[in-house]
Amino acid sequence: MNRTKTAPVWWLIGLVLVASVGCDQFTKHVAQNHLKGQPVASYWGDTFRLQYAENPGAFLGLGQDLPDGVRRTLLVGVNLAIATALATVMVVGRRMGPLRLSACALLLAGAIGNLIDRVQYDGLVIDFMNLGLGPVRSGIFNVADVAISVGAVALALASSRTPPKSTADGSANQ
């Protein structure tokens, strides 16, 4: 790939990483200072709630019942392995199109945001948002989780598209 053509894409990736991780960490800081110890705040007919939680497990509390040392080591290790794999895929997969790279950047940003929490807060992740209608509610989540979800959907969309056509110089057009 031509270096001048890839530079704007890498700037976009850097921007996605910095903005996503920064927003995640800032909102978690605000949640700790303003939501911790407070009652649940409900908005839009209880569709959206702000509710402070310290999640010891993975997605929806998975693994939270493991012994503390095992849980911390396992969740930090898995999180670090996933972040490393994503970063490697992004660097090695230079021929990926901007949508795939952006999706991977969102996944990586979410992994980094939650990894920062796990290291900083003894294996815990700060969560504070909840969505639902009536009795049907999501788990409590954070901005890193939103980045991961949006990245996963974008990656699925990018993967469902037809393979990119190569140009004469061997670069991809996606």
Catalytic residue set: 127, 145
Grouping H, G, I as helix, E, B as strand and the rest as coil, residue 18 is helix
> Nearest 5°: CA angle at 78, between 75 and 84?
135
Q: Two tokens at 135?
A: 């009795």
Q: In the 8-state DSSP scheme, what is residue 168?
A: T
The residue type at 112: I
The residue type at 119: V
